[in-house]
Structure 1
């Protein structure tokens, strides 16, 4: 199997695990404090539904929402980089850099660490822009070649 594809697939897997961990983080706090906003969930534990989510659950939901704005772009750009066969080393570095940035972004979000959250976001965005640049070069080369 192509080493760039292996790197991309590994990054997709890490991002999946990271997003799953955010979901588990939310569940942990809900169960730990038996605090649920959905009446059917609260009823299972003989509790009344809360008016709002716990702060930890809200932060994880915000991190999740931010992931949903960024990670699909990575899936598309990274997959296209693999398909177009952009330069291997650059593609691997950009995929790995994006993945690391998103993991750090989630940690910083949960811990309310600024400016680290913004820096991690910016690093991930820079990697996406780099992948878009590689794709542009690969497409132009294919059109001209």
Structure 2
């Protein structure tokens, strides 16, 4: 097996770039949640406010989106790393990574805006990317 986990490998470099973009997007959602908590004075812990703990739909929407990222992005990161180890066709692998990253960005936009059916469609694209990588990994490993 060639040394594939290095910056001279276009596939690995694309994985790093796309992975970093979606992780930074996920981190930004944490800041956005905090912003919305202060804007709507909707805190989840009694020690954070002198008022009773309250919920606000705009805060909860960002929290649900963030939880969705926490359920899907680690799967992509793990599968992507295993996928690289199978030494896939570079153009195919790079497109897998780019399409997933773009789908997560579009998913966030459509989730925050409450736009259906776009939210489920772009979510499905990301899911299919992960399924495609899993299939390729299993075919290579078995």
For the superposition of Structure 1 and Structure 2, which TM-score range results when normalised by the shorter chain? 0.7 to 0.9
Residue of structure 2 equivalent to 1:143 = none
Assess if the C-alpha contact under 8 Å between 1:38 and 1:49 holds in 2: no
Residue of structure 1 equivalent to 2:4 = none
Assess if the C-alpha contact under 8 Å between 1:15 and 1:99 holds in 2: yes
Residue of structure 2 equivalent to 1:118 = 120
Shift of 1:82: 1.3
Picking from 5, 15, 21, the partner of 1:8 is 15
Would you say how many aligned residue pairs link Structure 1 and Structure 2? 135
Picking from 27, 41, 45, the partner of 2:48 is 41
CA distance in 1, matches of 2:19, 2:135: 20
Please, what TM-score do these two structures have when normalized by structure 1?
0.86
Shift of 1:38: 1.0
CA distance in 2, matches of 1:87, 1:136: 16
Give the CA RMSD over aligned residues.
1.4
Tell which structure's C-alpha radius of gyration is larger: 1
Structure ranking higher in helix proportion? 1
